[in-house]
Structure 1
Amino acid sequence: MSDPALVTIPARRGKAARVKQGQIVKVINTHGDQVVDTWAFNADDLNEFMSMEHTRPHIMKIMPAVGDAMLTNKRRPILTFIEDTSGGVHDTIISACDRYRYKFLGVEGYHDNCTDNLQAAMGELGLAAPETPCPLNLFMNIPVHADGSLSFEPPVSTAGSYVALRAEMDLVIAFSACPQDILPINGVGHLPTEAHFSVD
């Protein structure tokens, strides 16, 4: 990773950045199988944020693709997919993991989680997310089967693959390198790893 513009999203942790309208955010799956929970907030009003439930009826599908705009809870474009080399499999259904999820999965005591990572990442910028919106789960593979059921599957992305997103307003973007190590969403038998992003 020699590009000085690259920012590390540490394994099991979060990172956030300010982005101007028109800038391109490139999110890199450095090792190929790391899910990156992604949030975006209007820089001028954090109560307006990228919303999966408002985006799905706009794009009329559950998986965004190149050319699709992600909408806010005020139904305004905030990020647009302009490039995707990862295989195009992402998730808009599953909420961010939290301490309650890991307790449900049998974890005793504290477990790193995306909900806390969001707040920590925003805190580094002196901000606080007003809530934890359902994230855009980049690289996450949640197939919907013919009977309507879901399953947690390993990513199809490969090392170094990426998505590029254009900011449609001044925004704050936040990421979590998901610390899920019980279900195979970060690859079968694989521990969570770091990922990277750049803003140009």
Structure 2
Amino acid sequence: MTTTEDIIAENRRRYEALKAQGQGHAPRALPPPSPLGLKLDEDAVLHAETIPGGWYWTTELHAGEALRLALDHGPSSVALVAWNAADTSERLNYADTVKVQWTSSLRKGRVLFSDMGRVMLSLIEDSCGAHDALVGGSNVGSNAARYPGGPHRNTRDNLVLAALKAGLGRRDIPACVTFFAPVGVGAEGRFTWNEAGRRAGDYVDLRAELDLIVVLSNCPHPLDPAPDYAPNPVTATRFKAPIPGPDDLCRTATIEAVRGFENNAAIGF
């Protein structure tokens, strides 16, 4: 009789075989998390915005610019979606981001892919390494099930409002990636939450590899066990990123990333 453990073991074996076949060579080792307190060059800063708890923010981000998301006011979770500014039919694809890089772990050295196989954003610094590319954001139902006294603002509605302001609609909204959401997967395939995986002062720096429209939503993650709806403000800072060198980690960490940047170069980025 085939047990659940047998099925999990067989799926793992098939996954590892496909991973080895797809990579073709060993990926570069990724560094430890970036240190807390790493300051930005003041001359490089273009704009800073404080996103209140429950709200959203939209910005254009040009290739070569970067966006720092920082938990300066305490723990929170920030959902992100993005579109190619020149052709909004191209959008963030977190499913491809996970399967192309053979991991759901987003950290310094990883990249976020579009649905056209191009790299949209690179994680050039990251003090946290606890980000969610599996669950998605909150909605009316998830908030109602968790928080009394609502309704409360949620990520799905925030993304709809932001899309409308950008001339887009519901059908244009991709699934989001959520930063500072310490989601894990247990041995039996169930999602877990590790609050110790994020700290006040954590940050992530995202370098744009295409000209982008980016939307951020600062709402509690659906798995956040905190009993109260009380997201802290989040600081978003646009800045000029250092010019990447030929050995740039994000561009060379995996053969999949190399191919993604080749696709970028084919359209002039």
TM-score greater than 0.5 by the shorter chain: yes
Give the conservation status (yes or no) of the 8 Å contact 1:33–1:155: no
C-alpha separation between the residues in 2 aligned to 1:70 and 1:26?
15
Counterpart in the other structure of 1:26: 68
Say yes or no: does 1:136 pair with 2:177.
Answer: yes
Count matched residues: 195
Counterpart in the other structure of 1:7: 49
Q: Whose RCO is larger (CA < 8 A, sep 6+)?
A: 1
Work out which of the residue numbers 216, 220, 227 in structure 2 matches 1:175: 216
- Pairing of 1:178-193 with structure 2 (within 5 A): 178-179=219-220, 184=224, 191-193=230-232
Change (3 A) 1:160 1:190: farther
Counterpart in the other structure of 2:167: 127
Larger radius of gyration: 2
Counterpart in the other structure of 1:118: 159
C-alpha separation between the residues in 2 aligned to 1:175 and 1:101?
19
Work out which of the residue numbers 44, 61, 73 in structure 1 matches 2:115: 73
Change (3 A) 1:17 1:155: farther
C-alpha separation between the residues in 1 aligned to 2:227 and 2:141?
23
Alpha-carbon distance, 1:114 to partner: 0.3
Give the conservation status (yes or no) of the 8 Å contact 1:144–1:151: yes
Give the conservation status (yes or no) of the 8 Å contact 1:9–1:177: yes
The one-letter amino acid of 2:98's match is R
Gaps spanning 5+ residues in structure 2: where? 1-41, 240-269
C-alpha separation between the residues in 1 aligned to 2:81 and 2:73?
21
Alpha-carbon distance, 1:122 to partner: 3.9
Identity of aligned residues (%): 25
Gaps spanning 5+ residues in structure 1: where? none
TM-score (norm 1): 0.85
Counterpart in the other structure of 2:236: 197
Give the conservation status (yes or no) of the 8 Å contact 2:74–2:232: no
* CA shift digits 1:22-49 (9 cap, x unpaired): 1111111123310000111111122211
Counterpart in the other structure of 2:198: 157
C-alpha separation between the residues in 2 aligned to 1:179 and 1:140?
9
TM-score (norm 2): 0.65
Q: Which has the higher helix share?
A: 2
C-alpha separation between the residues in 2 aligned to 1:139 and 1:54?
20
Change (3 A) 1:150 1:123: same
C-alpha separation between the residues in 2 aligned to 1:161 and 1:63?
17
Change (3 A) 1:155 1:116: farther
